[in-house]
Amino acid sequence: MRSSNEAPNVKLSTVATFPINYFLENLAVRSDNSVLVTVLNHKELWYVPSSNDEQPVEPELLFTFPQPAMGIVEVEPDVFYISISDFHTWKESYLYRLDLSGWQFISSRFFTFLSQSAG
């Protein structure tokens, strides 16, 4: 039995590093353990590939929105809703649908959508 002031045996490691002054707002973990990240103060959506060897990976910018990116939720496998809003004026808010069905990360700066009829 562990005493109340004994630290648990856990391991904390860096998954990815973002540029300076980035406010990571929300995360959505995909079935392949990659992560989609909304960045509030830069109006962006980033992709963080999964890492099998616990080494940090390079995040990839997927999209820049016209307003700050806030929430993200997976509504069905590989389909996500992303909320954006101009919270300074409250004049415009949008809900975007991102369908990554058949999408695959190949390598840095190269992405592809697999054919639905392939295979």
| Reduced DSSP (H G I as helix, E B as strand, rest coil) percent helix, strand, coil of the chain, to 5 | 5, 45, 50
- Reference 28, options 65, 81, 66; nearest CA is 81
Q: What is the pLDDT of residues 44-75, one digit of tens each?
A: 999 999 987 888 999 999 999 999 999 999 99
Q: What is the pLDDT of residues 9-45, one digit of tens each?
A: 888 889 999 999 999 999 999 999 999 999 999 999 9
Quote the pTM value.
0.79
